[in-house]
Structures are given as structure tokens and as C-alpha cells.
Structure 1
Amino acid sequence: MTNSKPMKITSNAFMNGGNIPSKYTCDGEDVNPPLMIENVPQGTQTLAIIVEDPDATTGVYDHWLVWNMPPERIVEENRIPGISGRNGAGKTGYHGPCPPSGTHRYYFYVFALDISLDIESGSDKRKLQEAMKSHILAQGTLMALYTKEKDVSQKNSVLIQ
């Protein structure tokens, strides 16, 4: 039986719909932000996270894939809590926001699963989604924005003129 309340994903680093601090991007330390997960349903064996940017010029860009995380309520900053998949840069681990121009949206999806996934480290998002397909008990989403610091300073200089 799944939880009657939807999973809620928050961060003490930014608000839903707010701006991601540069610390968690290519302009800063490029470490994953802390996440808090509420209403994890009973029966959850593991959690999975997919972070993606749907505004990328080449299509959806995957920033972080991680699975087989213990069903803890907190994902600590700068911590890879499970098995990492291949991000859009072709590497494993967290790859923070770094839009070439403009403001992009970043979706942090967290999935409660009823099993541990039997897929290899470095697998891509398609393989992760296929493995999760019939095992999702609940999911939650946190969305935040980021504009690369160079773009922000260019906008400010235009406003000053």
C-alpha cells in the first residue's frame, strides 16, 4: 500500500521555483545540493534521483542519475548516496547547472522504489527508467532555476547603461 500523501522534495539551499545558488553549479563548487524527502511510503526499499534540464539546446540534459539509495529523508550536500549513472557530460556523478545562455529550469525528481535495481554503475537514464518502470511507489519533484553568472553580469551592465 502506498502513502496517501505525495512525496515532497525540498532543499534548505533554495526554494521550489527559486534560484539555485552558484555553489551547486559550474560557477561554484559544482556539488549536489542538500535535499529533504518527506512522505516516503511504507515498503520503500530504495530511492532514485534524476536531475534534468529540459531547456538545453540539444534536448533534455541529464545532470544527475543515482539509484539504490537507502530510503533516508535527507540527501546531504556533496554526497553521492547510491550508484551513479551517466550524466549528459558522459561521466558519473553530479554535474551541476551550467546553461550556455539564459535561464534554465532544473527538475529534481525523487522516486521511491519497492526494490533495489540490478543495473550497472554508469547506466544511462533510459536504462534507469526501464528498470524503475513497474517499481515506483511514489515520486516527488523540486524545480529550480539557474542563470550562469556571466549572463547575470551582462544583464546588469546593460541595465546600468
Structure 2
Amino acid sequence: MSSFLARWIGYLLYNFRGRDHGLAVRLLNLEDQNPEIELTSAVFNDNDYMPLSSAGTGVGDNLSPELKIVLPSGDSATGSLVLVCQDLDAPLPNPITHLFAYDIPTNKTEFKQGDLNETDTPEGFKFGSGAFGRVGYIGPRPIPCHGDHRYIFQVFAINEKATKEFRELDTRPDLSRAIEIMKDNVISYGKLTGLYKRD
């Protein structure tokens, strides 16, 4: 696709964006609760632009950003963590899932650049199925001239019941299946918003 055509499509679809109703936090009815988990990145601040290194293939290096998770003090009920990233502004009926990782141990609270990219055997956790069946981190690659896209990183601390159910799955789950398992089983959550746009 020519750059002119891509930009024309971006302008044409500028007011067509995904819906916030598909955000995992909202699907789990957590929006009215204050986030208790601190989720930060060394390469971008909350509601700030993500670096080119984190942008998708063909745009940037497609390396997952550094992430740090700080769980609430005194938390002893968490069985595992789930990490999700969604693009809320793609011109589709629902957000695009750019990352879905689960069965993350509670002591795995720091991810270096690239740690969440697809590998055959990710260390200490598992990947679910993301957008279009892809696995691992998918960097931002919004349509040119479509404005800012919000990439919402969300981390969920889930109880032992949900952790056990995830571990008993015999197929790779997608986010819809994960929401079913996590419903009413989330102990705490946190989120971090990164922005990206292409002119």
C-alpha cells in the first residue's frame, strides 16, 4: 500500500475508533475500583508516547518495553499475574489485543526490553493468543494520520482458583476465555497507558 493511500485511509477513518467497552478492566467490572498495583515503564510515562523501539514491525523494532510491577504490600492471596495490552483506537468494533501473558509468578515483577516478545519457552510464564492468533508482544503500528492510539497495559493479580483453571487449560486461551476465568477472581489490578501515532 502506498504511503499516500495509507494516509488517505487514516484521514477517512479518523473518527472511527474502537470502543472502550472492550477494555479488559471494564469487562471485569474493575473500573470503579482504584488500581492497587503500580505498573510503570522506564521508557515511557503514563499517558506519554512509547519509543520507536516498541513500535511494531515495519515501523520500529517491535521490542516489548521494560515494565515493572509493584504489588500491594501484604498481598498473600495472589496465585499469579496476568498481563494484557490493548489498542483502544483501532477502527474496529473491539480493541486489538497486542499482548496477553498469563501464569506469571508473583515474584516475576520486572520485564526487560524484549522479554515479552514471542519465544518457544518464555521463562516462568505463558502466552495466550493475541490479535489474529498471534503470540507474544505486537508493537504499535496504527494507520498513518489516524491520530493518537492508546495502548493500555493492564496487570491483574488473580486468586488461586483462577490460577488453577488457567493451568488446567489444554489449549492456548484467547482474551475472551481469560476474561471468563478471571471474572470475580481478580484481587487487584494496575494499568499503564502508552500512546503512539504515525503521521
Interval containing the TM-score (normalised by the shorter chain): 0.7 to 0.9
**Residues 84, 121 of structure 1: 8 Å contact kept:** no
Which sits farther off after the overlay, 113-122 or 26-35?
Answer: 113-122
Greater share of helix: 2
What's the TM-score once normalised by structure 2's chain length? 0.68
Q: Tell me the distance in 2 between the aligned counterparts of 1:33 and 1:136.
A: 24
Which sits farther off after the overlay, 80-89 or 22-31?
Answer: 80-89
What's the TM-score once normalised by structure 1's chain length? 0.83
Match of 2:68 in 1: 36
The reply on whether 1:14 has 2:44 as its aligned counterpart is yes
Q: Secondary structure at the match of 1:127?
A: helix
Q: Can you give the 5+ residue segments of structure 1 that lack an aligned partner in the other structure?
A: 152-161
Give, as a single letter, the amino acid of the residue that structure 2 aligns with 1:61. Answer: I
Match of 1:136 in 2: 186
The reply on whether 1:70 has 2:94 as its aligned counterpart is no
**Residues 107, 144 of structure 1: 8 Å contact kept:** yes
Q: Tell me the distance in 1 between the aligned counterparts of 2:87 and 2:79.
A: 27
Q: Secondary structure at the match of 2:133?
A: coil
**Residues 45, 114 of structure 1: 8 Å contact kept:** yes
Match of 1:100 in 2: 143
The reply on whether 1:147 has 2:197 as its aligned counterpart is yes
> Over residues 86-137 of structure 1, what are the superposed CA-to-partner deviations in whole Å (9 max), with x where a residue is unaligned?
1113211111111013210010000011222233553211001111113211
RMSD between superposed Cα atoms in Å? 1.8
Q: Can you give the 5+ residue segments of structure 2 that lack an aligned partner in the other structure?
A: 1-33, 117-122
Q: Tell me the distance in 2 between the aligned counterparts of 1:86 and 1:133.
A: 18
> What percent identity do the matched residue pairs reach?
27
**Residues 35, 188 of structure 2: 8 Å contact kept:** no
Match of 1:158 in 2: none
Q: Tell me the distance in 2 between the aligned counterparts of 1:67 and 1:15.
A: 24
Q: Tell me the distance in 2 between the aligned counterparts of 1:139 and 1:7.
A: 5
Q: Tell me the distance in 2 between the aligned counterparts of 1:114 and 1:22.
A: 36
Greater share of strand: 1
The reply on whether 1:124 has 2:158 as its aligned counterpart is no
